[in-house]
């Protein structure tokens, strides 16, 4: 077996400690666009705790993606310029609390060596637990390292992605992003200048800063929340999506959704540029 494969497969980092409050919960919700209409009571429940008429603050399920920002299995020594986010799959074991001290256990799940000059896909997971040691959420991320690979790892095949139904969408919605949305979302943890610095974005080959892929991921969660979940965050059991193209802040994201029992399939696109930005999306409700 390849020593490089064994090195990557063996990475793990257990007991990473994090904490968050209702401030981070509300900032994330606002960062994915909730609260744009300050009179929408359904959305206010995620960005405002209520005063004269008290109401419990709701937590967007995909807040799990930033609750332990920076948690990971360890240094992978990849060519970071050539690394892109491929997929995110979050399983929700119980609703996230409004504020908590949590631990994160991270490990590499599998390494798919595509061969020399073809890159490598690394799948790693992070399990979030509360102070009692109970699981809150399991996050599985896939990163595609285009500048690595060909080190002799086993010839493994990645699992097939979720396929959307072949029929016409059951529901289609438009979600407008704000021109400044990336500047807000970056405060949730991801300070990559690709999303905030015009000069850096141009050097990376983009005409202007792009929206975080994980912000688009959160937007798709918001889309399911407002359609088939009736704004019930506790209904989410799983939320999966593959990233296929970036969104520019200010663009309108169009979501096509299909409902088959408890499974919601979805894709997202930016019609103005004729590009699909999210593929193979799946939400399981329960």
Catalytic residue check, 212? no
For residue 248, how far is the Cα from the chain centroid?
Answer: 17
User: What DSSP designation does 151 have?
Assistant: S
Element (H, E) at 1: none
Give the residue among 88, 44, 81 at the shortest CA–CA distance from 66: 88
Catalytic one among 124, 195, 212, 239? 195
Whose tokens are 């408890």? That residue is: 262
Q: Are 265 and 256 in contact (CB under 8 A)?
A: no
Q: How many helices and strands in the chain, by DSSP H and E?
A: 7, 10
Give the residue among 156, 162, 91 at the shortest CA–CA distance from 128: 91
User: How would you classify residue 39: left for phi > 0, otherwise alpha for psi between -120 and 50, otherwise beta?
Assistant: alpha
Q: Is 279 helix (H, G, I), strand (E, B) or coil?
A: strand
The two three-digit tokens of residue 71, written as one number: 């948690």
| CA atoms of 129 and 132, how far apart (whole Å) | 8
For the residues of 98-147, what is the DSSP string, one character each? SSEEEEEEEEEEEEEE--TTT-EEEEEEEEEE-TTS-EEEEEEEEEEETT
| CA atoms of 126 and 113, how far apart (whole Å) | 21
Catalytic one among 148, 190, 239, 256? 190
Catalytic residue check, 190? yes
Q: Which residues are catalytic?
A: 190, 195
């Amino acid at each position: 077996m390849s020593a490089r494969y064994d090195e990557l497969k063996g990475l793990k980092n257990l007991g990473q400690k994090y904490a968050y409050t209702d401030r981070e919960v509300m900032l994330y919700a606002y960062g994915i666009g909730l609260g744009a209409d300050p009179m929408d009571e359904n959305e206010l429940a995620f960005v405002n705790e209520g005063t004269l008429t008290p109401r419990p603050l709701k937590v967007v399920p995909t807040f799990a993606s930033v609750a332990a920002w920076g948690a990971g299995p360890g240094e992978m020594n990849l060519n970071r310029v050539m690394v892109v986010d491929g997929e995110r799959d979050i399983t929700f074991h119980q609703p996230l609390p409004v504020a908590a001290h949590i631990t994160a256990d991270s490990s590499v799940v599998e390494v798919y060596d595509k061969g020399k000059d073809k890159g490598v896909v690394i799948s790693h997971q992070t399990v979030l637990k509360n102070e009692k040691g109970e699981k809150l959420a399991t996050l599985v991320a896939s990163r595609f390292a285009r500048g690595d690979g060909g080190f002799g790892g086993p010839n493994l095949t990645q699992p097939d992605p979720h396929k959307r139904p072949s029929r016409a969408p059951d529901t289609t919605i438009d979600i407008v992003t704000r021109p400044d949305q990336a500047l807000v979302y970056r405060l949730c943890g991801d300070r990559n200048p690709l999303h905030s610095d015009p000069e850096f974005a141009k050097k990376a080959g983009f005409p202007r800063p792009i929206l975080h892929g994980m912000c688009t991921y959160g937007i798709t969660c918001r889309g399911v929340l407002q359609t088939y979940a009736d704004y019930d965050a506790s209904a989410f059991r799983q939320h999966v999506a593959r990233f296929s193209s970036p969104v520019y802040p200010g663009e309108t994201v169009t979501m096509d959704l299909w409902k088959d029992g408890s499974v919601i399939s979805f894709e997202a696109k930016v019609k103005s540029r004729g590009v699909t930005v999210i593929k193979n999306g799946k939400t399981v409700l329960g």
